[in-house]
Amino acid sequence: MIFNNKYESTLIMKGPGTKREIALTFDDAPDDIFTPKILDILKEKKVKATFFLVGYRIEKYPDVAKRIVREGHAVGNHSFNHPNFLDIKDTDFQKQITRTDELIRGLIGSTPAIVRPPYGNISDKQMEWLAGSKRIVVAWDVDSLDWKGLNSEEVVTNILPKVSPGSIVLQHSGTGDGGDLSGTVHALPTVIDQLRREGFKLVTVQEMLNIS
């Protein structure tokens, strides 16, 4: 991750440590394999999470995207086609954001308040542009590393010992061809149950940061 302390008010890596709250976040949504399974678990466990949506995936799986919103989860902008923002022109970066904003507005009726750069990479100039739009760039302080195709035990080990009040946990609910997020799906009930046993409340990023 490449970040600059200069944008401390725009960039959030962790929520306030004053409340026993954890935000579960899922990148690269939606897809038609893993996202529905994750939504099933969240519904069963009565948990609201935050999904960072990729624009072309909203177009490809509109019914799953609508389900995320319908079931009360929060959403954020995760670019249109998941480029490394450091490798593209600033005008193309802005198009990545605005094109996906338009698609998300079609889902929730407003521009999403939060953005997560793919790979956690963003330049100072890009951060400045988002700050000018009063957007919040949401990173994370706990990384499940589930995109590596880890099994459920490995995913659990990457999350539970590392959380603390205010933690923002990075997981994925969509993947490319051949990717396997079964570890996340199988780990999720264990993660939820254990966090609750430890007295944590599971909230969306927007709830944690008190942003609309």
- Residues classed as catalytic: 27, 172
- Report the C-alpha gap between 3 and 32 in whole angstroms: 33
Length of the chain: 212
For residue 60, which phi and psi values (nearest 5 degrees)? -80, -35
Burial level of 5, CB count in 10 A (0-12/13-18/19+)? exposed
d(CA 45, CA 189): 8
DSSP assignment of 133-183 equals TT-EEE--SEE--GGG---HHHHHHHHGGG--TT-EEEEES---TT---HH
Which H helix or E strand runs over 36?
A: helix 34-45
Whole-angstrom distance, CA of residue 94 vs CA of residue 111? 14
Q: CA–CA separation, 17 vs 165, rounded Å?
A: 5
Cβ atoms within 10 Å of 92's Cβ, excluding its own: 12
Beta bridge partner(s), residue 143:
170
The amino acid that residue 193 corresponds to is D
